[in-house]
Amino acid sequence: MTEHPTIATFGTADGQLSLGGMTLQRLAARVGTTPFFAYDRALLTARVERLRAALPKAIHLSYAVKANPMPAVVQHLAGLVDAMDVASTGEMATVLDTVLPAERVSFAGPGKTEAEIEKAVAAGVTIEMESATEVDRVVKIGDRLGFRPRVALRVNPDFRVKGSGMRMGGGPQQFGVDVEQVPHLLARLVAADVDFLGFHVFAGSQNLDAAILGEAQRRTVDLIVALAERLPSPIRYVNLGGGFGIPYFAKDIPVDLDAIGANLAELMATRIAACLPEAAVVVELGRYLVGECGVYVTRVVDRKHSRGRDYLVVDGGMHHQLAASGNFGQVIRRNYPIAVGNRMDEPAAGPVTVVGCLCTPLDLLGDEVALPPADIGDLIVLFQAGAYGLTASPTAFLGHPHPAEVLV
């Protein structure tokens, strides 16, 4: 039952999955309703510690809030990371409630409106401008408000990163300014009354290959060095993006963090020390920080046998955890790690298909998975639910109640 590395990470007690030092049934009783999401505080802390140990000390670790914007999670991480990246003014408000000073907050994403930019300029967060229009808006709003906007430019690189689950740089993109258009914009920015800090490149998400991630970081540094040479004063901000993936499927191999750290250490000691000596170097991670620290817990409400197939019907589904159903960015549907959380010591029996309670065949959570025989009332746990879970799911679809979320 515990072959997937993440399942083993949680640990068990009394034959049950253990979270935040509690057995799963006790936690379910504490929450009082299923389904629910639970995020493990100690695992989040351990994750940050593991990253700190592997990455060079000088790297600023930033949390990309859209991966999991639950306020308690954001509050907990605010005490552990150096910075946070937000993708909306809603996320910005959540982060401004934490101990992190506004100078440690960046605001990225296409399509920022004047109203959003105005809030961000007033807050003093760093606006990562993604187009010439956004540059115009920021300059105008800074003049109007009488505050100097803190800004960086998000650059769409001229290379692509292979092996990313979602590509967000290279080729035509809605993200960032194409590198060939940047010199023209820099001339404008140098003349404008803004505090221009530096550059941001985020080339792709969910990548498990340390060699490819390392190459992307090297090429990003080269690109930023070339752009920085055009500026009259040294840049103070270099955001290398992130994109570190987590293992979702049986054959996925966890990313080699030490190899990434070694590559970054070499970059810091060579190109960055020589050419970008005043820059804070940021690595920005969402999924890698929180994805493996959370579970989605559902309860079996029905068991069925239909023409040779065994089914478990649970009280949750794709309306809460879309990704596990395979409908969030997967080309071929594969099963997320799954367990009967109150039968962790029992051997797996024949394959069973776990479905949610929505009236659509899309609501498939585990297709012919090997689980111990489960009864009505048992707790089915879906792992890798800490990132892009609840807030990336169509919660209004079919009108079921909202699930609880707890940080334990």
Ligand X SMILES: *Cc1c(COP(=O)(O)O)cnc(C)c1O
Binding site for ligand X (CB under 6 A): 64, 66-67, 85, 87, 108, 202, 205-206, 241-243, 284-288, 387
Distance CA(56)–CA(366), nearest Å, equals 39
Please provide the size of the chain in residues: 408
Distance CA(26)–CA(307), nearest Å, equals 36
Nearer to ligand X, 51 or 379 (CB): 51
CB of 302 to ligand X, least distance (A): 35
Helix (H, G, I), strand (E, B) or coil at 268: helix
Question: Is there a contact between 6 and 247 (Cβ–Cβ < 8 Å)?
Answer: yes
Residue 4's Cα: distance from chain center in Å?
Answer: 20
- Region of 308 (left: φ > 0; alpha: ψ -120 to 50; beta: rest) is left
CB of 265 to ligand X, least distance (A): 21
46 sits in which H/E element: helix 41-54
Nearer to ligand X, 240 or 352 (CB): 240
Nearer to ligand X, 246 or 297 (CB): 246
Residue 357 a catalytic site member: no
CB of 64 to ligand X, least distance (A): 3
| 62 DSSP β-pair partners | 83, 284
3-state percent helix, strand, coil for the chain, nearest multiple of 5: 35, 25, 40
Distances (CA, A) of 360 to 296, 367, 398: 20, 15, 10
Which position has the token pair 């009259």? 232
CB of 69 to ligand X, least distance (A): 12
Distance CA(8)–CA(383), nearest Å, equals 11
Nearer to ligand X, 23 or 207 (CB): 207
Which position has the token pair 């606006």? 127
Residue of this chain nearest to ligand X (CB atom): 286
Which position has the token pair 């250490």? 265
Nearer to ligand X, 91 or 118 (CB): 91
CA angle 331, 240, 273 (to 5 degrees): 150
| Phi, psi for 13 (deg, rounded to 5) | -150, 135
Which residues touch 232 (CB under 8 Å, ≥6 apart)? 190
Nearer to ligand X, 286 or 403 (CB): 286
CB of 287 to ligand X, least distance (A): 3
Nearer to ligand X, 67 or 125 (CB): 67
Nearer to ligand X, 205 or 220 (CB): 205
Q: Which of 275, 293, 357, 359 is catalytic?
A: 359
Which residues touch 57 (CB under 8 Å, ≥6 apart)? none
CB of 290 to ligand X, least distance (A): 8
CB of 400 to ligand X, least distance (A): 27
Q: Is 406 exposed, middle or buried (0-12, 13-18, 19+ CB in 10 A)?
A: middle
CB of 350 to ligand X, least distance (A): 36
Question: Is there a contact between 38 and 26 (Cβ–Cβ < 8 Å)?
Answer: no
Distance CA(334)–CA(355), nearest Å, equals 14
Q: Give the catalytic positions in this structure.
A: 359
